[in-house]
Structure 1
């Protein structure tokens, strides 16, 4: 059953402008998973914003074009939510099904789950740690902290150069194609949220600069294309 906050927060774009400080905590392709997190936050009186939306523009087209369910929280609550999710996962791992896929993972594969926890759900991360401990490879809280800090530093590295899409962006900007506008905007403004709640620009300063140029050049290209289309109306040409 949806929580009392679900109905007012999903698809509520107005709230983004009233309280713009909410930032993305987790994205889901399954509304059930999104609602589970929302219910956990409700139970602990944590403010959140649950939104159904189409995926944001990505010039690499690396994602599937499906609906996403985004749970957003206040930046100052990020660490608290991390702890709540972790504690909830620790309680749930007591009831693991005998055929759960993680049980067949090697020690190295389980370690990969822990070192790249941001790519897995909290349940799998805690279960991986429990399984390693049962196999005589326990990881202490201090070691987990070091692993998390190292992972954050890895995620701070800029995304690979978007040279190919920069070229495409310039082409569409010059010919008046609206795709150049979106490519430029994405390269210039896109940010990613780190596991600790910190938001950083995804692309290098060079890529951002090119994106900004493409963005404004697209306006010029669109204006020229618009004038070109209207010109026959003023010249009498058909």
Structure 2
């Protein structure tokens, strides 16, 4: 019973771990990584004390709660436990009581032997905290050859694909005389009477734009998608 109670307690208290870090990043729950840093000698301490906080940006932070030379102690584990921090060690031992406390409390200890491996791993974690850049990518264009107005349906643009492809899931811009007059979603995409997922260059299709019926002959429908592009720490806002 005591073992099950301990497991239940650990499940309730979800500490930051490298394995779980990216899950928290994806859910948007984490914008700061807190670190307890222990190293072998003062020289290593100085390098890491400068390098790790230096990775922070206005959007994401790496915060050193405590840093010193020496073995990882039970006190380090208690601090990490109370602060939801990771313990980062460099060429140091973990005292037996510290190892036991870390296991009991679900605190992760990461011990490195190469100093820049620690820096690179923290940099990758912080980059994962950055909001991705949203980039629009044009997929294809279609020219409206005829407009069919159907009762209780609305305007169906009879088109010829003039470049690339348009997919049912794309967003679209309606362009008239070189100006964008509407941006919206595709309600339906058809080849003859059949619903299709995409239409490519050279083929005819029928496009119904959601909640928009002001479509005219010779309008251009441009399909596009929005991609999320991972950002790097040197791309600050």
**TM-score normalised by length of structure 2:** 0.23
Structure with bigger gyration radius: 2
Higher helix share: 1
Determine which structure has greater relative contact order: mean sequence separation of CA pairs < 8 Å that are 6+ residues apart, divided by chain length: 2
Instruction: Please report the TM-score for the alignment, with normalisation by the length of structure 1.
Output: 0.23
